[in-house]
Structure 1
Amino acid sequence: MSLDLSIVVPLYNEEESLPELMSWIHKVCTEHQYAYEVIMVDDGSKDSSWEVVQELSRQYPALKGIKFQRNYGKSAALNEGFKASSGKVVITMDADLQDSPDEIPELVQMIRSDEYDLVSGWKKVRYDNAITKNLPSKLYNGVNRLVSGIQLHDMNCGLKAYRRKVVKSIEVYGEMHRFIPVIAKQAGFPRIGEKVVQHRPRKYGVSKFGWERFINGFLDLLSIQFISRFGKKPMHFFGFWGTAAFLVGFLITLYLIASKFFFEGSLINKPAFYIALTTMVLGTQFFLTGFIAELVSRSSSDRNQYLVEETLRLKHQPQTGENH
Structure 2
Amino acid sequence: MLYIVLPAFNEEEALPELFKDIEQNCAAIPHQIVVVNDGSTDSTLDVVKNHEKTHHNIHSVNHAENQGLGAAINSGFQYVLSHNDQILGAEERVNNSLNYPDVVITMDADNTQPADCIPLLYDEICSGADLVIASRYARGGEQHGLSLFRRGLSWGAGKVMKIVAPIKGVKDYSCGYRAYRLQLLAQGTQFYGPNIIQSNNFSGMVELLLKIAPFAERVSEVPLKLHYELKKGASKMRIGATIWGYLSLIYQLKLKKWSTVEWVEE
TM value normalised by structure 2: 0.79
Q: 1:210 to 1:149 in 2, by over 3 A?
A: same
Give CA deviations for 1:207-256 in whole Å, capped at 9, x if unaligned: 111321442232232244256x3456xxxxxxxxxxxxxxxxxxxxxxxx
The within-5 A match list for 1:31-70 is 32=28, 34-70=29-65
> In the alignment, what sits opposite 2:182?
164
Whichever residue aligns with residue 198 of structure 1, its letter is: K
Identity score, percent? 29
1:78 corresponds, among 55, 70, 73, to 73
Structure 2 gaps of 5+ residues are 85-100, 189-195, 260-266
| Number of residue pairs matched by the alignment | 224
Where 2:158 maps in the other structure, the secondary structure is: helix
Contact 1:178–1:217 under 8 Å retained in 2: no
Contact 1:5–1:37 under 8 Å retained in 2: yes
> In the alignment, what sits opposite 1:150?
167
Would you identify which runs of 4 or more consecutive aligned residues in structure 1 move more than 4 Å?
Answer: none
As a proportion of its length, which structure holds more strand? Answer: 2
Contact 1:121–1:157 under 8 Å retained in 2: yes
Contact 1:144–1:221 under 8 Å retained in 2: no
> In the alignment, what sits opposite 1:117?
130
Asked whether 1:191 is paired with 2:218, we answer: yes
1:139 corresponds, among 140, 152, 156, to 156
Asked whether 1:105 is paired with 2:119, we answer: yes
Asked whether 1:29 is paired with 2:35, we answer: no
Contact 2:157–2:173 under 8 Å retained in 1: no
The within-5 A match list for 1:268-279 is none
Where 2:225 maps in the other structure, the secondary structure is: coil
> CA shift at 1:156, angstroms?
1.3
2: CA distance, partners of 1:199 / 1:65:
26
2: CA distance, partners of 1:68 / 1:29:
27
Whichever residue aligns with residue 196 of structure 1, its letter is: P
Give CA deviations for 1:76-125 in whole Å, capped at 9, x if unaligned: 111111111137011111001111111111111100111x1100111232
Asked whether 1:8 is paired with 2:5, we answer: yes
Contact 1:128–1:134 under 8 Å retained in 2: no
> In the alignment, what sits opposite 1:96?
110
TM value normalised by structure 1: 0.65
Give CA deviations for 1:156-205 in whole Å, capped at 9, x if unaligned: 1121001011122222222422232211123x224211111121232411
> In the alignment, what sits opposite 1:273?
none
Whichever residue aligns with residue 108 of structure 1, its letter is: Y
Asked whether 1:174 is paired with 2:191, we answer: no
Q: Give me the CA root mean square deviation.
A: 1.8
Structure 1 gaps of 5+ residues are 233-324
Larger RCO (alpha carbons 8 Å, 6+ apart) = 2
Which has the higher Rg, Structure 1 or Structure 2? 1
Q: 1:203 to 1:75 in 2, by over 3 A?
A: closer
